[in-house]
Structure 1
Amino acid sequence: MRTLLLSLGLMLAFPVGAWSQEAEHGHGAHAEPPAQGGHGTGHMGHMGHMGQESREAESLRDIPLMRRGSGTSWQPDLIPPSMLHWDAAGWGLMFQGLLFGGYDVQGGPRGDDAFAGIGWLMLMASRELPSGQLVGSVMLSPEPFTAGADGGYPLLLQTGETYQDEPLRDRQHPHDLFMELAVSYSHYFSDTWGLLLYAAPAGEPALGPVAFPHRVSGWYDPLAVLGHHWQDSTHISFGVLTAGILTPKAKLEVSWFNGREPDENRYDLDLRAPDSFSTRLSVNPTARVSAQVSYGYLKSPELLEPEVPVHRLTASATYHAPFGSNGFWATTAVFGRDIEGEEAPTNAFLLESSLDLDGHHVVFGRAEYVQKAGHDLVLPEPLEHSVFDVGSLVLGYVYNLGPFGPVRPGVGVRGALNVVPGGLEPFYGSRTPVGGMVYVRLAPAGGHR
């Protein structure tokens, strides 16, 4: 509990200096963004505001930095203000983050309950150059300290990674301390096309949608998606090189990366020689819409089965829109398909949405359908190669307080109704096991105006 409070306090303490500098230089939450061509902010001034339509990018220099979701993935240009930013020596600095702390209860024989701290903190620096843009980012997570007991926090039907050399099941593993250490450079050959280069000892290859902790549609849900390891589990890879060709509305990328999942030591960098590759096509036809399709070959993702490769195919679409005078609506649909060694292909579908009604009242929901093998769920040997159709329906509510200085706190509740086939009922005690969480949420005050 002490480490959870320390992590929450860190978010309160760190941005205070940034928020003070914003106020001093006229870049506070209610200040108008700088005009196009302004220096130092790395396009931060073009990100779109609550209740205002962001203009569509006509040239590469019109692309807002906030189009970048996680790694080099794209999200719609229309984003609710969600960060603190300031200028320093010609650099535009940006702080983002989300922290949740609460009590997680998962029912049934395979369930558990625990206090958990979940989230991430990121500092990004950008610099406009005559021929392009340079961006560096550092992202950290408190979860090794606040959600690492017994391999992670309880979450029915969740699978993936290991604890004490055994596969995890019905728990979500904590994210590593170092979620991203990366630098990228976009070179503009003209207003309409350019080259992107991205290098990261800890980062994300061009595979999948914006990772679930960073999607606006999932901002208010503290818990992981059940299809994580079909859709975006490579969002923390230790060793990534990406190159891409970009236009104002489209980007084609290829990545060479270390496809091995992080090990149980969440405090170091699990560097290995790159052995996997991926490619992704992203399109932003309007300021409200972003879509992608991607394919990846992961040569040896599993620590316990290093000889088994995975072919992964994903597709996703995201829609953002203002709601009323102070609200915002975000929705994402994701499909993921894994072909694991000689096993039959399995699929995962997700639809999630968050609706900020007025800057204070937020409702959110998530629907998932995932095909999980018996070995994923750690079932007895006769069921290891059977495939089970499982689902989850989530509904939640958050009330945002404040803001108080640079921080906007909120209190929330989340409930989940899970659905399993008859073959899993003996293990889960019911065809409809349930789970829930009550929590507090901290975000930068820039998230609301």
Structure 2
Amino acid sequence: MRAPLLALCLLLSAFARAQEPMSGHEHGDMSPPDTPAHDAHAHESSMRNMGMGSDDSEVRSLRDIPLMRRGSGTSWQPDRFPPSMIHAQVAGWGLMFQGLLFGGYDVQGGPRGASAPEALGWLMLMANRELPSGQLVLGVMLSPDPLTAGAHGGYPLLLQSGESYRGEPLHDRQHPHDLFMELAASYTHYFSDTWGLMLYVAPAGEPALGPVAFPHRASARFDPLAVLGHHWQDSTHISFGVVTAGLVTPLARLEVSAFNGREPDEFRYDLDLRLPDSFSARLSVNPTSRVSTQVSYGYLPSPEALHPGVPVHRFTASAMYHAPVGAHGFWATTAVFGRNVEGDEPPTNSALLESNVDLDGHHAVFGRVEYVRKTGHDLALSGILEHDTFDVGVLALGYLYQFNPWGPVKAGVGVRGALNLVPENLAALYGGRTPLGGMVYVRLAPVMRDSSGHGR
């Protein structure tokens, strides 16, 4: 693990240098740390960085970038995002707790479907410290999935594919996430108000590849189930061994990553550490507070344990849009394109459009449209179908009712329905060309905060 150890040494060295004060003309008020002026500035900066000060104004300085711009790993989402979190200040550190938990009954129809009670989600604690010359962020994220959605290799989801269970490829099921979704530290050094360098080191984390992962996107926060294009778009969001370096400006960031590209194994409670064997690059641009875009490329030489030595070239592009609705509502939309070039197989593409609208803090509607071209081996087909390609898709719609907050937590009850689309030559396997799926569920999340910091 020489590369991660070297990166960690660089991170610690940068942190040590960050303790040295910068000249006042570089970052304005640099009052000594024990003065009231510095304390007030630190609190204001922390509140802004937690996302509580987000508005439509342009971000002109690195210090004005809200922490909530970070979606998952080092990916960016729009600045216009009322954070759902519990926040505190402790000894100069800003502490932020986030999470999202779903529990319900999942029904997927047809011969390849199944039904099961499921509980899904994630919990995250993040700590950030504003320094005279930069920002340090530490994060740990855990998932209950191994305990609550690990039976039979994962939860039922028609047309889903990726990873394996007991030596066989998973199909029509979504694999559970690992217990450790992220263990990471990042430091951004400000050379001026307009540019800096970032280093991200994670025994468990996300390389610079793809959009904000689906469990963490604002546009998917009411939908409990995974996207069908997960392994074309954001499946590397849990990688065991990641080092990322990036050039940062207030509106753009260019990153490169070295990471372990092997998919996690079936034992979901440990860290599947391996030497980094993959690399990626991503350009992210936030032209306004409401819009975030990215393009990325990754090379994974051997991602699948069942097909060692079969490389994957992955290309992704995405755009996200956030906007307020009325006095208490919020609208979030994401479009994603992903392309895999896997070994000698023909290239396969995926496309997604998802959106939700929280109308008033109580009533929310959401939807997702997907198209994915999958191979026969993706869907665990045998014989002459194994190397064919198939155009599949899904149209999902749902509704969530949210109750008034209970202290720092808000609960809701929801329903999700899906119309799946399969080609004619797969109709017999799926019991028709339009098999149905659905889920009824409850949802728990921290209270949403508006731009003034008040909960709703």
Q: Which of residues 261, 273, 276 is equivalent to 1:271?
A: 273
CA shift at 1:48, angstroms? Answer: 5.4
1:39 matched residue in structure 2: 42
Alignment of 1:148 onto 2:150: yes
1:162 matched residue in structure 2: 164
1:238 matched residue in structure 2: 240
Flag the 1:225–1:35 CA change in 2: closer, same or farther, 3 A: farther
CA shift at 1:42, angstroms? Answer: 5.9
Structure-2 separation of matches of 1:394 and 1:214: 18
Structure-2 separation of matches of 1:421 and 1:119: 32
Which residues in structure 2 correspond to 1:23-422 (within 5 Å)? 38-39=41-42, 43-45=46-48, 53-422=55-424
Structure-2 separation of matches of 1:327 and 1:365: 17
Q: Is the 8 A contact 2:68 2:83 kept in 1?
A: no
Structure-2 separation of matches of 1:110 and 1:36: 59
* Matched positions, count: 415
1:9 matched residue in structure 2: none
Note the alpha carbon deviations across 1:280-339, whole angstroms, 9 max, x for none: 000000000000000000011000011100000000000000001100000000000000
Structure-2 separation of matches of 1:35 and 1:359: 36
The residue type equivalent to 2:447 in the other structure is: A
Flag the 1:158–1:36 CA change in 2: closer, same or farther, 3 A: farther
Q: Report the secondary structure of 1:343's partner residue.
A: coil
CA shift at 1:81, angstroms? Answer: 2.7
Structure-2 separation of matches of 1:79 and 1:445: 13
Large movers: runs of 4+ above 6 Å: 34-37
Flag the 1:385–1:142 CA change in 2: closer, same or farther, 3 A: same
Flag the 1:195–1:385 CA change in 2: closer, same or farther, 3 A: same
The residue type equivalent to 2:126 in the other structure is: M
CA shift at 1:120, angstroms? Answer: 0.2
Q: Is the 8 A contact 1:47 1:54 kept in 2?
A: no
CA shift at 1:398, angstroms? Answer: 0.2
Note the alpha carbon deviations across 1:117-140, whole angstroms, 9 max, x for none: 000000000001110000000000
CA shift at 1:382, angstroms? Answer: 1.0
Q: Is the 8 A contact 1:41 1:127 kept in 2?
A: no
CA shift at 1:45, angstroms? Answer: 2.3
Note the alpha carbon deviations across 1:340-384, whole angstroms, 9 max, x for none: 001000000000001000000000000000000000001122111
CA shift at 1:80, angstroms? Answer: 1.8
2:7 matched residue in structure 1: none
Flag the 1:386–1:295 CA change in 2: closer, same or farther, 3 A: same
Structure-2 separation of matches of 1:429 and 1:162: 24
Q: Is the 8 A contact 2:402 2:410 kept in 1?
A: yes
The residue type equivalent to 2:205 in the other structure is: G
Flag the 1:48–1:187 CA change in 2: closer, same or farther, 3 A: closer
Q: Is the 8 A contact 1:120 1:139 kept in 2?
A: yes
Note the alpha carbon deviations across 1:205-258, whole angstroms, 9 max, x for none: 000000000000000000000000000000000000000000000000000000
Percent sequence identity is: 73
Q: Report the secondary structure of 2:448's partner residue.
A: helix
Q: Is the 8 A contact 1:42 1:126 kept in 2?
A: no
CA shift at 1:46, angstroms? Answer: 5.1
CA shift at 1:36, angstroms? Answer: 11
The residue type equivalent to 1:333 in the other structure is: A
Q: Is the 8 A contact 1:176 1:266 kept in 2?
A: yes
The residue type equivalent to 1:399 in the other structure is: Y
1:8 matched residue in structure 2: none
Structure-2 separation of matches of 1:47 and 1:271: 31
Structure-1 separation of matches of 2:45 and 2:305: 39
Q: Report the secondary structure of 1:436's partner residue.
A: strand
Flag the 1:414–1:306 CA change in 2: closer, same or farther, 3 A: same
Unaligned regions of 5+ residues in structure 2, if any? 1-36, 450-454
Structure-1 separation of matches of 2:343 and 2:313: 8
Structure-2 separation of matches of 1:63 and 1:36: 19
Structure-2 separation of matches of 1:60 and 1:355: 30
Structure-2 separation of matches of 1:304 and 1:377: 14
CA shift at 1:56, angstroms? Answer: 2.1
Unaligned regions of 5+ residues in structure 1, if any? 1-33
Q: Report the secondary structure of 1:121's partner residue.
A: strand
Q: Is the 8 A contact 2:51 2:68 kept in 1?
A: no
Q: Is the 8 A contact 1:139 1:178 kept in 2?
A: yes
Structure-2 separation of matches of 1:334 and 1:425: 27
CA shift at 1:44, angstroms? Answer: 3.7
- From the CA coordinates, give the structure whose radius of gyration is larger: 2
Which residues in structure 2 correspond to 1:433-448 (within 5 Å)? 433-447=435-449
Q: Is the 8 A contact 2:195 2:250 kept in 1?
A: yes
Q: Report the secondary structure of 1:39's partner residue.
A: helix
CA shift at 1:402, angstroms? Answer: 1.6
